Amino acid sequence: MGPRAFPWVLHVDLDQFLVAVEVLRRPELAGRQVIVGGRGDPAERTVVSTASYEARALGVGSGMPLRVAARKAPDAIILPVDHEAYLEASGHVMDTLRGLGTVVEVLGWDEAFLGCDAGDPEAVARRAQAAVLDATRLHCSVGIGDNKIRAKIATGFGKPAGIFRLTARNWFDVMGDRPTIDLWGVGPKVSKRLAAHGIRTVADLAATDGDVLVAEFGPRMGSWYGDLGRGHGSAVVDDTPWVARGHSRETTYQRNLTTPEQVQAALRDLVAQVHADTEAEGRPVFRVGLKVRYAPFFTRDRSKKLAVPTRSLAELTDAVLALAEGMEPDREVRLLGVRAEMVMPDDGDATERTPVRGRI
């Protein structure tokens, strides 16, 4: 069907998705403190992917180092990430939503936008919740908005397993006094930059002169943050299948890499994994990237466009190892990442982008 604007946008978000999938397989975990992350070992340098509401009540959150989460919730059950299981469950959910006859724009494993023409969007939301629960035994929350921004933010007020409507009519009543970090797209760094201008709440942001935001964030992002404060955004829902532009793999090492030989071996392994990902799509690679995090926590990125797009593992390996020649030889390496960007199906040629130069 393609992109289309709707009078209502519904944001469907599965509740504690990864944990919920694990509970389906192990019902005895229901109501327990459960954390999913990495390989399930808090001694490793991995992070929390998600946590049950019981664990969240103790301060455990996504992106938190697993070892920190284990200290906050010492009685929690910690499970490894099972990508295949979550991908299968997600596919079942999205197929169920499409079966409702709505336009579905998939955002990730556990969330999607639905386009809605109905006069009673709450009824559509309840129908979506019931269909997903019946088909998958998974609960979801639904945010209803007159655009994507408001629908996405509304979902948080509906959790767990609820429904909430957020529109231009109640935007400032609901959001006006809330901190800017509660907005979708505003993280800790941006909220601090806003606070430096005395902008602490959503209402403050909405009332801020556009010139102030443009001076701080540039013309594009400054204008976008101003609109965000007022809850403005697109109501276009697009069900066009998503096509990956690239694939990346990265590993945080249990013990720092200390020699060039260790780094090269690790990079060869990562390139082989990325190559397998791109080969599964049958598209050549036109650019490779390298990410290096030195101990204790200092990250550098560099990328390079290939002279000719390729599907050769040997050529990709050589290109990544050439990028690695710019690494600082005397520093221990904590993390390595490799990215391969592919020629898009409808591209006659890949788009040029300026690579990052200098030492990594």
Please say whether the dihedral angle defined by the alpha carbons of residues 165, 169, 174 and 175, taken in this order, is positive or negative: positive
SS3 at position 288 = strand
Whole-number Å distance between alpha carbons of 206 and 172 = 9
Contact status, residue 248 vs residue 289, Cβ threshold 8 Å: yes
Whole-number Å distance between alpha carbons of 167 and 235 = 12
| DSSP category for residue 32 | S
Largest CA distance in the chain: 65
Whole-number Å distance between alpha carbons of 184 and 63 = 17
Residue 10 corresponds to which tokens in the numbers above? 């519904």
What residues contact residue 211 under an 8 Å CB cut-off, 6+ apart? none
Contact status, residue 127 vs residue 137, Cβ threshold 8 Å: no
Q: Respond yes or no: is residue 111 known to be catalytic.
A: yes
Query: 243-274 b/e with 16+ CB inside 10 Å = b?
Result: eeebbebebebeebbeeeebbeebbeebbeeb
Contact status, residue 342 vs residue 281, Cβ threshold 8 Å: yes
Q: In what order do the strands lie in the sheet with 8-14?
A: 103-108, 111-116, 8-14, 140-145, 163-166
Element at 305 (helix H, strand E):
strand 298-310
Give the number of other Cβ atoms within 10 Å of residue 200's Cβ.
Answer: 16
Out of 22, 54, 105, 111, pick the active-site residue: 111
Catalytic site positions = 111
